[in-house]
Structure 1
């Protein structure tokens, strides 16, 4: 599916708030509600839109520390390590690179809980070569159009 300018405009609105009513999007873009509905449905069918989701404010639920762990793994055990780490309660997402590295985004209520998870859970996983801990100071995201 080739993304058209109108699709991008709809995506930008939904990216900011996926609960935005189609009628409101139609009004903002000077389109009919049916056109917006059809466009969104088509983007869902074509897997341009995978999910309508929420963006949590982790600080407001007691998860003050946001980290990005860069974990170098043994290539043979990368997938198993990824799956094990992804099951940890504090992990939000994981990216795997071609260099047998995992970039793990996680939230913790305190530095002590972060240290405990690293020392008592992650460090105990066979095949991990090195862990680099990066404290995230600011998080921004945007739609890449």
Structure 2
């Protein structure tokens, strides 16, 4: 019970303020949760579209092993090559290229490999495709006798 009208009014006002602030905080949390959900949903398509699937150059490739993890040969670039899209790697004249796969059928003009840069090179090592006509073989390492099906990751652009 209240000791005075003033005290009762003050007590009711405090209770109402407490209820209102609790509701406001709950609403804020709700808005914060929804904001977070919307933010994540808004960013999700960006994250999934960061990489993209490119058309296959070939359905098959020749490799030294079933995983195409061992280089077949080492080649030297005869000329500079500037890639037409992200499936291909840039190559400078004179660079060594480790060849891991030779595409077959409709893609037989392309090989897959990695460029050997200098120790201090700003070029990061990555696997990609290039025309076989721009390199000359310098060292045979392993025979390319295993026919492997290409998959979507062979032509995926990060």
TM exceeds 0.5?
no
TM-score (ref. length: structure 2): 0.28
- Structure with greater strand percent: 2
- Structure with greater helix percent: 1
TM-score (ref. length: structure 1): 0.30
**Higher Rg:** 2
